[in-house]
Amino acid sequence: MKSQPLSHLKNSSPHFLETYLTWSKREQLKSANQVIIDGKTLDIASVVTVARNSCPADIDRSDEVVERVNSSVKFLEEYLSKGYCIYGVNTGFGGSAGSRTSQLTALQSALLQLTQTGVLTEGDFKPDVSNYDVGFHSMPVTWVRATMLVRCNHLLRGYSGVRLEVIDAVLQLLRKGLTPIIPLRGSVSASGDLMPLSYIAGVLEGNLDIQVHWEEGTASKVISAREALDIAGISPIVLGPKEGLGLVNGTAASAAVAALAAYEANQLAVLSQILTAMSCEALSGTAESYHPFIAEIRPHVGQIEVAANIRSFLMGTKLAETPENRDRARPGLFQDRYPLRSASQWLGPQLEDLNASIAQILVELNSTADNPVIDVATNEVLSGANFQAVSVTSAVEKIRLSLQMIGKLLFSLNSELVNPDLNKGLPANLAADDPSLSFTMKGVDINMAAYMSELAFLANPVSSHVQSAEMHNQSVNSLALISSRYTMQAVEVVSLMCAAHLYAVCQALDLRVLHNCYLEALEGRIRSIIRELFSGLQPEHQDDLCKHLSQSTRKSWAGSASYDLHDRCQSLSEAITPVLLSGIQKYGGQLSGQADRIALIETVQGRVSQESICLFQSMRNHFFREQNTASYLGGASKMLYTFVREDLKVPFHQGLVEHPTLECSGQQIKERPRKTIGSWISVIYAAIRDGRLHRPVMACLQDSQPEETRNGH
C-alpha cells in the first residue's frame, strides 16, 4: 500500500485518522531509518520504530535544543556554588531527605546503589537456555529500547540538569544495539520508575555487575556493562550532581511501555471492526444494524465511526444483506443477535477511550517527569512530583478495559459462528466433513473461553492496589509500569483471540459460500425433477411448487447443521413431503394420468435424497481444490481473507483428513503441509504481532473510508 497524502485524510474519523497516521509515519521512519528527538515532538510511531525495528535515534542538534540543555547544567552549578540545598543533589532521598552531604558525585552513585535492587536469574542472562520456571524476570528488549529513547527525550527538554553527552551516550548504546538487562518487577512508578532506569544509568557508570544484551545484525549475546561501553566507544561516566537522579527519577519506562501498548491496541481495535464485518458476512447478517440514521440519532463519535466503517467494509458483499438486497419479509430471526447488531454501540466507546489514552501518552512522552526541576528563566530550582505517573496509569487502564470489551465481542461472535443452533446453517464446529467425526473449531471455541477469562481478569484496575512505600514517603504511587505491563499482556491475549477468530471466520466464509452455492444448485436439480415428474402441471404451477420446495429445503438445511451429510440430505428429502402433498392437493386435477400419487412423492423424495448427496459431495470436492470465496466478499473481508489464504498460505480446513498422523487422501492436501489447527492459528498470530497484518488492515480502512467521514460528518 502506497503512502497517501495527508490532505485527503484531514476530515477522516478520529480513531481512524490517529491509527492510520501513526502507522504511516512508522512506515516512513522505517524507510528513513532515523528518528530525531528534541524533547517536544516525540510520538508513538517513533517509539515503536526504535523499539521494534531498531531504528537509530539521535539528538536534534539545533542551537535551541543544545542551549536549553547546557543552560540547565550551568545554572545548577551556579546555584550550588551559592551554598543552597537541592533535593537529591546534596540531600538524602525520599524519606531520608533530612540528611546533607558535600560528596555530590558519590551521592549519585549511592542513589544507583539503593535503586539497583531488582531480581534477575541465570536464565535472563542466557535467553537461549530453556526456562523451566514462570518465565524470564527481565524486561523484553523492545521495552528497554523504548524506555531509553523516552528518557532521553525527557532530559532534552532542559529542565533536569543532565549533560548533553550523558544523553548522547544513552542513544549511542541504542544505536549500537546495546540494551541493559533490566528486572521486570520492582517499580511503583513514583518517585518515577527508579529501579528500571537505574540499570540504564548503571551501564553508563560501567557497573560490572550489570549485564547488557548486544544485538549485532542477526546475532546476539550478553556482555558486561564495561564491554558494552567499549563497543559503543564510551568511557565510563562519573555522573555529576543530579545526573543520577535525572536519569532514574522519571516516568520513562511506564510511558514507553504504554506507548507500545497503545500502538498495538489501536491496530487491534481496527482489526476487530473488520472481523465484525467478516462475521456479519459469515453469519448472513444485515448491514442495517450500521445504518447512518441509527448512529446519527445517538451521536457518539465512536459509534458513528464504527457504524460507518463496518458499513463501508460490507460494500460489495454477496453474503450479507445490504440496502440493495434488503428482504423486508425475511424468514427466521428478523434481526441479528447482539454481537453483530450492537457492534457499533459496543466498540464505539472503546475508540473514544483509546483516543483519550493516546492524548495522555503523547503529553507524557514530551514532559519533564523528574524532581527537582530547573527553571532557568526565573533562576529557581523547584521541588514537586512530576514523577507521579498517574496519567500513564489512567491511559493504560482505559486501554486495557477497551481491549477486554473488544475481546468480549470477538468471543461472542466466535461462539455464534461455531454453534449450529446460532450460525444459520453452517455445520457444527465449522467442520467441512461429517460433524460426527470432525470437530474442527470446537477446541478453538474452548481456547477463546480461556483467553476471555484471562483477559477479563487483566481488565481489573491496578491503581486500586496502591501500597505505601519508602518510609511512608511514597504513600500514594501510580503503579503505572505494573499497569502498563498488564496492558501489554492484554494486547497479547487479544492478539491471540483475533488470530483464532480470523482463522475461524475465514473457514466460516468458505463454508458459507460452499453451502450457498450448493443450495442454489440444489434448487436447480429439484426444479428439473419437478418438471420431469410433474410434467402434467402447468409451468406457472410448477414454479409455485418449486418456490415452496426451495423454502422447505433451505429451512431443513439450516435446521440440520449438526447432522452428517447422509442424514442431512435424508432429513431434507423428508421435509419436502408436506409441500408435495399440498401441491398435489392444490393442483391434483392436472395429474390425472398419475393415479399413484404416494408413489410419486416417494419417487421425488428418493431422487432428491440421492441427488442432494451426490451434488454436495461433488461440489465440496471441487471446493477443496479451488475456493472462489473472495469474489463473494465485501472489500475489507476480501482483502483480509486473501491475505490469510494467499500471503500467509493458511488453507481452508478440510476436516479430519488434515490431521498430520492420518493417512492422507486428496491431491490438494498432498501438495501442502498438514499442521495442527493451533499451528495454522499461530501463523496468523505471528503476522499480527510482527506487524505484517497491519498493512492489509490499514489498507482496508483507507480504501473503505466512507464518504460521510471523508466529508467530516
C-alpha closest to that of 642 among 625, 663, 627, 658: 627
Spatial separation of the C-alpha atoms in residues 194 and 196, rounded to whole Å: 6
User: Roughly how many angstroms between the first and final C-alpha of the chain, as a whole number?
Assistant: 26
Integer CA distances (angstroms), 457 to 260, 453, 484, 523, in order: 21, 6, 15, 50
Mean per-residue pLDDT of the chain: 91
Distance of CA 58 to the CA centre of its chain: 30
For the residues of 86-129, what is the DSSP string, one character each?
Answer: -TTTTB--GGGTT-B-S-HHHHHHHHHHHH------HHHH-TTS
46-58 burial: b if 16+ Cβ within 10 Å, else e: bbbbbbbebbebe
- Ordered strands of the 219-224 beta sheet: 178-180, 211-216, 219-224
CATH of domain 63-250: 1.10.275.10
Rounded percentage of the chain residues whose pLDDT exceeds 90:
77
- Work out the average pLDDT over 418-444: 94
Would you call 230 exposed, middle or buried from its count of C-beta atoms within 10 A (0-12, 13-18, 19+)?
A: middle
How is residue 638 written as a grid cell? 476480501
Nearest CA to 104 out of 123, 86, 116, 118 is that of 86
The grid cell for 532 is: 420431469
Per-position b or e across 620-647, b if 16+ CB within 10 A of its CB:
beebbeebebbebbbbbbbbbbbbbbee
**Is the pLDDT assigned to residue 713 strictly greater than 60?**
no
Least confident range of 56-60, 119-123, 327-331, 651-655: 327-331
CA 420 to mean position of chain CA atoms: 28
**Domain edges within the chain:** 63-250, 257-373+388-508+701-710, 514-625
Hunting for cell 490469510 — which residue is that?
644
In 147-278, where do the E strands start and end? 178-180, 211-216, 219-224
Residue type, 550: S
Residue type, 158: G
Residue 172 grid cell: 549511542
Q: Is residue 305 within 8 Å of residue 709, measured between CB atoms?
A: yes
Percent of the chain with pLDDT over 70: 93
**Which pLDDT score is estimated for 451?**
97
Residues labelled as active-site residues:
87
Q: Which string of DSSP letters, residue by residue, matches 319-357?
A: SSB-GGG--TT--S-SS--HHHHTHHHHHHHHHHHHHHH
- Give the phi and the psi of residue 86 in degrees, each rounded to 5: -130, 130
Locate 668 and state its grid cell: 490438494
Q: Which helix (H) or strand (E) holds 540?
A: helix 539-559
Find the mean pLDDT for residues 218-233.
94
Helices vs strands, H then E, count in the chain: 27, 7
May I ask the CATH architecture of the domain 514-625?
Orthogonal Bundle (1.10)
Task: Give which of 609, 591, 580 is closest to 535, Cα–Cα.
Answer: 591
pLDDT digits (tens, 9 = 90+) for 322-363: 887 777 666 667 788 889 999 999 999 999 999 999 999 999
Q: Would you say residue 709 has pLDDT above 60? A: no
Does 588 have pLDDT greater than 60? yes
pLDDT in tens, 517-555: 999 999 999 999 999 888 878 889 889 999 999 999 999
With cell 528500571, the residue in question is 196
Helix, strand, or coil here: 684? helix
Q: How confident is the model at residue 710 (pLDDT cuts 50, 70, 90)?
A: very low
CB 19 within 8 A of CB 267: yes
Peptide bond into 609 cis (omega under 30): no
CATH code matching the domain that covers 257-373+388-508+701-710, chosen among 1.20.200.10, 1.10.760.10, 1.10.3080.10, 3.90.230.10: 1.20.200.10
Is the predicted pLDDT of residue 50 greater than 80, yes or no?
A: yes
327 against 92, higher pLDDT: 92
Q: Which three cell numbers stand for residue 549?
A: 420446495
pLDDT (0 to 100) of residue 326: 74
| CA–CA gap between residue 566 and residue 699 (Å, rounded) | 43
Give the model's pLDDT for residue 471: 74
Contact 591, 597 (CB under 8 A): yes
Give the pairing of strands 373-375 and 380-382.
antiparallel
For residue 135, pLDDT beyond 80: no
Evaluate if residue 5 carries a pLDDT over 60.
no
- Cα gap 397→493, rounded to integer Å: 15
Give the pLDDT score at 77: 94
Question: Model confidence over 247-300: pLDDT tens digits?
Answer: 999 999 999 999 999 999 999 999 999 999 999 999 999 999 999 999 999 999
What residues form DSSP beta bridges with 138? 183
Predicted confidence at residue 132, as pLDDT, reads 59
Of 136-140, 426-430, 705-709, the poorest mean pLDDT is in 705-709
pLDDT tier for residue 403 given thresholds of 50, 70 and 90: very high
Neighbours of 413 (CB within 10 A): 26
The CB density around residue 330, as the number of other CB atoms within 10 Å, is 12
At 461-514, the pLDDT tens digits run 988 877 877 677 677 787 889 999 999 999 999 999 999 999 999 999 999 999
22-30 long-range Cβ contacts below 8 angstroms, 24+ apart: 22/48, 22/263, 22/266, 23/267, 23/694, 23/698, 24/698, 26/263, 27/3, 28/3, 29/53, 29/55, 30/55
Cβ atoms of residues 398 and 357 within 8 Å: yes
DSSP letter, residue 427: P
State the number of CA atoms in the 13 A half-sphere of 396 facing the CB: 31
- pTM value is 0.93
pLDDT level of residue 7 (50, 70, 90 thresholds) = very low
